[in-house]
């Protein structure tokens, strides 16, 4: 190969020799390579900036275009008819968030979100293709049309609602506080000045308590298991986390009670589609409303969540027909 | 012993199809990295030859290419190829395909640079001696230059190959389910039943990666020994 190329391009046999760099013409050439280096750097910078600018422009263009040409078939998302025609729907779910979306020991997707996803595909009359998604990728996946729907414990926030279209909610989330059963904390005012509350760094619980109750001392841990160990060793009087998490914890470990099952603003979890995909969005909304007749999400809860949370929290967590109680 | 097996989560491995899924995840890793490695070696050798040309245009292009690969984290490249292509030109390809593109793009640049280095390190007297012995050009290349180039190239390229295999867990970020992701799925599905499963599973992942990379290192040292005489 080398031989072939070198013949073809008339390369001198001594091209690999460093000595040829020392002839006068080579020295001129070396000066030139400095220029090239500079040129290369400049070009690279321009390219990077160009790609970045292109990306942000495309986002803006997307937003404008999708509203203008929502009926044309060259949109990034697939409309309801296109999904039906193709015979399969791509739904982004978590594959490692038991019990909402996880993979069981036989390799099958399971969980509260997955149960609903299967029903959507069934009623659309198409096959379901699950895409294992990461929390940070959910918005991006929708915006680039990699999935048709995201059903991955997706909490509705104002910021996200500007980037994707949320359908009606199907679940409630709030913060919760768990404490030892013999010293149950039912109100944050019971926490004294010397007491500490355990939180996991970066969670909504940490952000909420720092903003709204700055007088409470927080002990922060990086992982779930560190926080758990610290709490069980009495490092704090209570542990604040998503209410689903603390409820599940109190249910599996004896001697602990969820004194505050709801703290802070009520958030909801809803399916999301690509911004502008109205045909699919309307279909999902209608579906969620009509599923209330058969109490679908209560059935979903009993199939998937009851082992983790027990019957007591069913009404608290489930949203039926998109109506928040 | 039984307690140890349960405590460290090794029992989780053999529940249901967990172990087969883990192996399946490892196969995805291997498939993507080996295809990329094969493409990188072929394209890298060509690029390496092109890099030794004196043509200022090819030199500039190679330079820019190499610098882009050097300064861009692979994760950024993955995002650009997978999500960026969909946004900019509406291209939708499978995440595995995007991964092969990125790893080949990266591997080719590094391999090209290694080949260039190896070619340029063959001293001129090797050529001259060959010609003095009456060899023609093709004889010189095939019996003198190429064997020496390959020998110098081998340790460096093995390093690159294992590095490429070890970088594949990044593809989780573009939604490919490979070995580490399967491990996280299994750990999470058994979060309550076996809270310490993480240790057992990641130990198994370590063993799997070792089983893949160790033979490559062995082969390399075997060849090095064989060719040194």
Q: What is the pLDDT of residues A245-266, one digit of tens each?
A: 888 888 888 899 999 988 877 7
Q: Are A236 and A197 in contact (CB under 8 A)?
A: yes
Beta carbons of B87 and A36 less than 8 Å apart: no
Q: Are B47 and B119 in contact (CB under 8 A)?
A: no
β-strand pairing of A272-274 with A164-166: antiparallel
A80-170+270-317 shares its CATH topology with A174-267: yes
Q: Which residue of A has its CA nearest to B92?
A: A146
Cβ–Cβ pairs < 8 A, chains A and B? 147
**Structural domain boundaries in chain A:** 1-58, 80-170+270-317, 174-267
Residue showing tokens 């991006």: A140
B127 vs A contacts (CB less than 8 Å): 13-14, 16-17
Sign of the Cα torsion A251, A256, A260, A264 reads negative
**Which residues make beta-bridge pairs with A166?**
A272
Rounded to the nearest 10 degrees, the angle between the axes of helix B56-71 and helix B18-51 is 150
Sign of the Cα torsion A291, A292, A298, A301 reads positive
d(CA A269, CA A263): 16
Whether residue A60 has pLDDT greater than 60 = no
Q: What is the pLDDT of residues B163-221, one digit of tens each?
A: 999 999 899 888 899 998 899 888 888 877 777 788 888 899 999 999 999 999 898 88
pLDDT value for B17: 87
User: Please, where are the H alpha helices in B85-196?
Assistant: 85-89, 95-120, 124-132, 137-139, 146-167, 179-189
Beta carbons of B67 and A44 less than 8 Å apart: yes
pLDDT value for B27: 93
Q: Are A92 and A147 in contact (CB under 8 A)?
A: yes
Rounded to the nearest 10 degrees, the angle between the axes of helix B95-120 and helix B56-71 is 120
Residue showing tokens 């909304």: A285
B136 vs A contacts (CB less than 8 Å): none
DSSP state of A95: S
d(CA B113, CA A145): 37
**Quick one: residue B9, left, alpha or beta (phi over 0 = left, psi -120 to 50 = alpha)?**
left
Q: Which CATH class is domain A174-267?
A: alpha beta
Predicted TM-score (pTM) of this structure: 0.73
B131 vs A contacts (CB less than 8 Å): 13
CATH topology (fold) of A80-170+270-317: D-Maltodextrin-Binding Protein; domain 2 (3.40.190)
Q: Any idea which of A23-37, A96-110, A227-241 has the lowest mean pLDDT?
A: A23-37
Beta carbons of B90 and A74 less than 8 Å apart: yes
Average pLDDT over residues A223-231: 82
Rounded to the nearest 10 degrees, the angle between the axes of helix B95-120 and helix B146-167 is 150
> What average pLDDT is seen over chain A?
80
Nearest-Å Rg of the Cα atoms of chain A is: 28
Q: What is the pLDDT of residues B44-86, one digit of tens each?
A: 999 998 998 888 999 999 999 999 999 999 999 999 999 988 8
d(CA A114, CA A133): 12
- Per-residue exposure over B151-189, b if at least 16 CB sit within 10 Å of its own CB, e if not: ebbbebbbebbbebbebbbbbbbbbbbbbbbbbbbbbbb
Nearest to residue A151, comparing CAs of A309, A304, A323? A304
Q: What is the pLDDT of residues A122-144, one digit of tens each?
A: 999 999 999 998 888 889 899 99
Beta carbons of A132 and B177 less than 8 Å apart: yes
**Structural domain boundaries in chain B:** 2-228
pLDDT value for B114: 93
Q: Which CATH class is domain B2-228?
A: mainly alpha
């Amino acid at each position: 190969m080398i031989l072939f190329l070198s013949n073809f391009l008339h390369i001198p046999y001594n091209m690999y020799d460093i000595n040829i760099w020392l002839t006068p013409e080579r020295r001129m050439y070396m000066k030139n390579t400095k220029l090239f280096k500079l040129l290369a750097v400049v070009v690279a910078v321009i390219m990077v900036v160009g790609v970045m600018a292109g990306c942000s422009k495309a986002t803006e263009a997307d937003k404008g275009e999708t509203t203008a040409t929502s009926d044309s078939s060259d949109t990034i998302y697939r409309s309801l008819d296109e999904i039906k025609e193709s015979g399969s729907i791509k739904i982004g779910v978590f594959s490692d968030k038991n019990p909402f979306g996880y993979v069981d020991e036989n390799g099958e997707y399971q969980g509260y979100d997955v149960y609903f996803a299967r029903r959507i595909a069934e009623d659309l009359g198409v096959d379901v293709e699950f895409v294992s998604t990461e929390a940070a990728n959910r918005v991006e996946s929708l915006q680039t049309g990699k999935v048709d729907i995201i059903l991955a414990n997706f909490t509705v926030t104002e910021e996200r609602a500007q980037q994707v279209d949320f359908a009606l909610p199907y679940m409630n989330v709030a913060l919760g506080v768990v404490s030892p059963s013999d010293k149950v904390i039912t109100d944050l005012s019971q926490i004294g000045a010397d007491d500490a509350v355990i939180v996991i760094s970066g969670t909504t619980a940490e952000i909420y308590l720092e903003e709204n109750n700055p007088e409470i001392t927080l002990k922060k841990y990086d992982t779930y298991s560190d926080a758990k160990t610290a709490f069980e060793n009495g490092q704090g009087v209570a542990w604040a986390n998503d209410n689903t998490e603390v409820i599940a914890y109190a249910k599996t470990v004896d001697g602990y009670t969820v004194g505050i099952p709801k703290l802070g603003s009520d958030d909801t979890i809803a399916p999301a589609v690509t911004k502008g995909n109205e045909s699919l969005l309307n279909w999902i909304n209608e579906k969620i409303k009509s599923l209330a007749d058969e109490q679908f999400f209560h059935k979903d809860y009993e199939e998937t969540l009851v082992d983790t949370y027990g019957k007591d929290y069913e009404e608290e967590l489930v949203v039926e027909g998109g109506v928040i109680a | 012993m039984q307690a140890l097996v349960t405590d460290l989560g090794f029992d989780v491995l053999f529940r249901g199809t967990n172990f087969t899924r883990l192996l399946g995840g490892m196969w995805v890793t291997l498939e993507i990295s080996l295809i990329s490695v094969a493409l990188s070696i072929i394209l890298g050798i060509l690029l390496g030859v092109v890099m030794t040309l004196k043509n200022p245009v090819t030199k500039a292009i190679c330079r820019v290419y190499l610098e882009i690969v050097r300064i861009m984290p692979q994760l950024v490249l993955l995002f650009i190829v997978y999500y960026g292509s969909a946004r900019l030109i509406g291209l939708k390809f499978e995440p595995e395909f995007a991964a092969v593109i990125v790893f080949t793009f990266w591997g080719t640049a590094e391999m090209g640079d290694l080949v260039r280095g190896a070619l340029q390190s063959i001293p001129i007297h090797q050529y001259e001696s060959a010609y003095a012995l009456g060899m023609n050009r093709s004889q010189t290349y095939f019996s003198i230059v190429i064997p020496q180039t390959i020998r110098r190239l081998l340790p460096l390229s093995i390093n690159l190959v294992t590095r490429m295999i070890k970088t594949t867990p990044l593809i989780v970020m573009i939604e490919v389910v490979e070995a580490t992701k399967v491990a996280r799925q299994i750990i999470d599905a058994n979060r309550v039943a076996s809270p310490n499963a993480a240790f057992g599973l990641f130990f198994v992942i370590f063993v799997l990666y070792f089983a893949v990379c160790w033979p490559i290192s062995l082969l390399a040292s075997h060849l090095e020994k064989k060719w040194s005489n």
